[in-house]
Structure formats: structure tokens, C-alpha cells
């Protein structure tokens, strides 16, 4: 593995769209007892269901700590590669590399990771195991890696349409816990240089009470070039209404890198989901403090889906809108099977299906062997 100090766009590399062809997908076997209730028992079952679906149409690599390797190997299909790797938690979207390609080769970007805000408003300490994973994942696959650890960024805070447009949120990327010394323009310059993009769409915000400082991947996603789904509620008394409305207004007045207007497809939210006292009791404390409070609203959203080669895997919450979300996405992803997975046990951890996955784009090196 070469550690590169150039910039992907200068080398002819860019980040493809998630709906472009994948070689595979990276996930991390959950273990953290203050993130996942009851020793991650229910979360592991939900992760395993998702892994099973993804592995039907792409190569699946699952990182497991030394202590969890045997459990992961036992629970997961034999076609899945289980890779020993220490981690602080299980959010592959945010700690695995962002992969870029020039059409034939593939490279990883090793962003800095500080648990969504470091000592300012991060969610746990320390985060050094997570921060080392991107480079180690590239090493294990013999993929060269751009060193960008000096810039704090999580994969969940960016989307690419693969055609020059990147989408993010101001709430997250301009937060005080990431790169506070950088201006919006300076951050945009880095995104363009590293993701090989010409235009950055800056949504103002994300989902209410989203503890990632409102990652874009919980509120909005590209479904094809110039088409996005936006998490939406018609309930004007819900604080989310104003947030989604601001994003809608922004998008309706925006154009992508190719000058196309963005078509916004509203994806209704489930009714507010709150954590129960029993669920809170199943979570370990963090430094003597409860990690969640009974009644706390969780950042549930159907937008937090993963697009695999064969499927779109969508969180389900036991809500009246579950089926409606699947129907809307089925119309937008006509060549894929849209499949729901009951995801309350992932939501309790603080994210959802998109947050726990990271796609590896297809490249010539994967076409010719293994």
C-alpha cells in the first residue's frame, strides 16, 4: 500500500455514486455496549440480516474485533469475509475509506475521524481505533491510500452523484468540532479536490436531534443524477418540518455540476420514534452517565438506506409509512429490489443502514480476480 500525499482530482480520480456498480461493501460487527443494547445482541441480528442481503449481489467484508471474530464467523454466511480489526464502534460509513476511482484503478481516502466532534461535541473518547481503520482496510486489500487525516470528515456527511456533484450539510461540515479553523470556501475546495467534484450542494441542515451534527445521509440521497429523495413531514408542529422545508427550498433553487435542476422526491418520515425506559436500561453507561434518556427522540429516517448492486435496503420502524417508503423507492430504483429491514435496533445505536455500510466501487482489478 502506498500512502499518497497528492490529491485525487489531480490524479484523475473521483468518488462514484452509490448507485454505480460496486465490487463490494464493508461493515463492522457491532460490540460497543453503550451504543447497542443488551451487549449488541439485537443489533448483531439486524446487521447479519443486512449483510445477508448485501452479500447476494456484492462481496461483503465484515471487520470484527479479535474478541468477536468467532461470533461473527458463526453468525454470518460463509461467503462473507470476516477480517480481524479492532474498532471503537461500528459505523463503517464514517470510519472506512471513501473510495475513489479513475475508471480502472481504485484508491482509498483516509480522512481524520474524531467521533463526530472530538472533545467539542464528539460522542465517545477515545476514537483512535476507529481513526486507524481506513488505512488498515486499504492495506488489507492492497489499495493505495490518500493521507487526509489532517481533515476531519465522515463518509455519512457526503454524497456524490458520480458526475461532479457532491452534497453535504452546513450543520455538520461547519460544526465547531471538526475543522473549525477552516472557512466554508476552504472546506469546499478540499471536497472538490478529494472527491473529484466541480460543485458542492450545501443543504442547511439534517434530521432533528441527529447526533452526528446532522449528516446528509439521514435526510437526503441521490437516487440518480439530478434526482434526490428528501426526508419529509407535513406536520408543521414537528421541528423537523422547518428543517426539511429549508432543505427543499435550497434544492428547488439549486442546479448540479452539469447545470441540471434537481428533482426532489419527498420521502415521508415515520412518526417520531422515541427510546423506551427498557431500551435505555439495556445500554451500558458512559463514564457513569446514562447514554440515552427514556423518551429521547431518535433520528429515524427512511433516507438512511443502502444501495447494493441488487437491492435497496431500507430501514423499517413498524410505522404506517414503512410500506409507503418502500413503494416510493421502488419506483425510483426500478432495476433493484427494494427490501425493508426492521431497524429499530440499529437506530438505537444512533444511525441506520447507510451509516453502517461503505461501498467499494467496482474496478478493473476486481473484475480480473480476487
Pick the piece of the chain touching a copy of itself (CB under 8 A) from 40-48, 65-73, 228-236, 307-315. Answer: 65-73
Piece of 90-98, 191-199, 337-345, 361-369 that binds a copy of itself (CB under 8 A): 361-369
Q: For the CB of residue 193, give the shortest distance to a copy of itself in the complex, in Å.
A: 23
What mask, x for binding a copy of itself by CB under 8 A, covers residues 87 to 126?
----------------------------------------
Length of the chain equals 370
Instruction: Using the rule CB under 8 A, give the single segment among 133-141, 291-299, 343-351, 353-361 that binds a copy of itself.
Output: 133-141
Buried b (16+ CB within 10 A) or exposed e, 227-249: bbbbbbbeeeebebbebbeebbe
Q: 79, 80, 110: which is closest to 95 by C-alpha?
A: 110
Q: Which cell numbers in the block locate residue 229?
A: 429523495
Q: What span, in angstroms and rounded, lies between the C-alpha atoms of 297 and 28?
A: 25
Catalytic-residue membership of 355: yes
In the complex with a copy of itself, which residue's Cβ is closer, 150 or 334? 150
Q: Do residues 342 and 323 lie in contact, with contact meaning Cβ atoms separated by under 8 Å?
A: no
Cα-based distances in Å from 261 to 226, 250, 255: 7, 11, 4
Question: Residue 127 or 232: which CB sits closer to a copy of itself?
Answer: 127
When binding is defined by CB under 8 A, the residue of 142, 181, 185, 289 that contacts a copy of itself is 142
When the beta carbons of 76 and 251 are compared against a copy of itself, the nearer one is: 76
With CB under 8 A as the contact rule, the residue among 14, 136, 292, 344 that binds a copy of itself is 136
State the minimum distance, in angstroms, from the CB of residue 296 to a copy of itself.
33
Alpha helix positions (H), 196-314: 239-252, 277-281
Minimum distance, C-beta of residue 132 to a copy of itself, in the bound complex (Å): 7
Residue count, binding to a copy of itself (CB under 8 A): 27
Between residue 71 and residue 90, which ones bind a copy of itself under the rule CB under 8 A? 73, 78, 81-86
| 337-342/358-361 β-pairing | unpaired
* Residue with the three cell numbers 449483510: 51
How far CA 163 is from CA of 154, 227, 351, in Å, comes to 21, 12, 27
Whole-angstrom distance, CA of residue 297 vs CA of residue 282: 17
Binding site for a copy of itself (CB under 8 A): 1-3, 66, 69-70, 73, 78, 81-86, 129, 132, 135-136, 139-140, 142, 365-370
Tell me which residues are annotated as active site. Answer: 355
Amino acid at each position: 500500500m502506498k500512502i499518497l500525499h497528492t490529491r485525487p482530482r489531480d490524479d484523475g480520480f473521483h468518488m462514484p455514486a452509490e448507485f454505480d456498480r460496486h465490487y463490494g461493501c464493508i461493515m463492522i460487527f457491532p460490540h460497543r455496549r453503550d451504543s447497542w443494547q443488551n451487549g449488541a445482541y439485537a443489533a448483531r441480528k439486524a446487521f447479519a440480516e443486512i449483510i445477508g442481503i448485501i452479500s447476494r449481489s456484492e462481496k461483503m467484508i465484515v471487520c470484527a474485533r479479535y474478541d468477536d471474530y468467532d461470533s461473527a464467523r458463526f453468525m454470518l454466511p460463509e461467503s462473507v469475509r470476516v477480517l480481524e480489526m479492532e474498532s471503537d464502534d461500528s459505523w463503517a460509513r464514517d470510519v472506512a475509506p471513501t473510495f475513489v476511482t479513475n475508471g480502472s484503478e481504485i484508491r482509498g481516502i483516509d480522512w481524520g475521524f474524531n467521533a463526530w466532534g472530538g472533545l467539542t461535541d464528539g460522542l465517545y473518547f477515545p476514537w483512535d481505533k476507529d481513526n486507524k481503520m481506513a488505512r488498515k482496510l486499504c492495506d488489507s486489500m492492497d489499495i493505495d491510500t490518500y493521507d487526509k487525516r489532517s481533515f476531519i470528515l465522515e463518509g455519512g456527511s457526503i454524497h456524490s452523484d458520480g458526475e461532479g456533484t457532491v452534497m453535504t450539510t452546513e450543520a455538520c461540515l461547519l460544526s465547531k468540532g471538526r475543522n473549525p479553523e477552516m472557512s466554508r470556501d476552504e472546506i469546499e475546495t478540499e471536497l472538490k479536490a478529494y472527491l473529484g467534484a466541480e460543485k458542492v450542494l450545501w443543504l442547511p441542515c439534517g434530521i432533528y436531534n441527529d447526533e452526528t451534527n446532522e449528516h446528509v445521509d439521514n435526510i437526503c440521497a441521490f437516487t440518480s443524477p439530478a434526482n434526490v429523495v428528501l426526508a419529509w413531514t407535513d406536520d408543521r408542529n414537528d421541528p423537523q418540518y422547518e428543517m426539511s422545508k429549508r432543505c427543499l427550498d435550497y434544492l428547488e433553487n439549486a442546479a448540479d455540476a452539469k447545470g441540471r435542476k434537481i428533482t426532489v422526491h419527498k420521502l415521508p418520515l415515520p412518526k417520531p420514534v422515541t427510546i423506551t425506559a427498557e431500551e435505555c436500561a439495556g445500554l451500558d453507561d458512559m463514564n457513569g452517565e446514562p447514554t440515552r434518556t427514556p423518551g429521547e427522540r431518535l433520528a429515524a429516517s427512511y433516507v438512511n438506506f443502502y444501495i447494493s448492486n441488487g437491492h435497496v435496503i431500507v430501514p423499517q420502524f413498524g410505522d404506517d409509512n414503512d410500506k409507503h417508503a418502500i413503494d416510493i423507492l421502488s419506483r425510483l430504483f426500478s432495476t433493484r429490489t427494494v427490501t425493508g429491514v426492521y431497524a429499530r435496533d440499529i437506530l438505537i445505536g444512533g444511525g441506520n443502514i447507510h451509516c453502517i455500510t461503505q461501498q467499494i466501487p467496482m474496478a478493473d482489478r476486481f473484475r480480473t480476480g480476487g
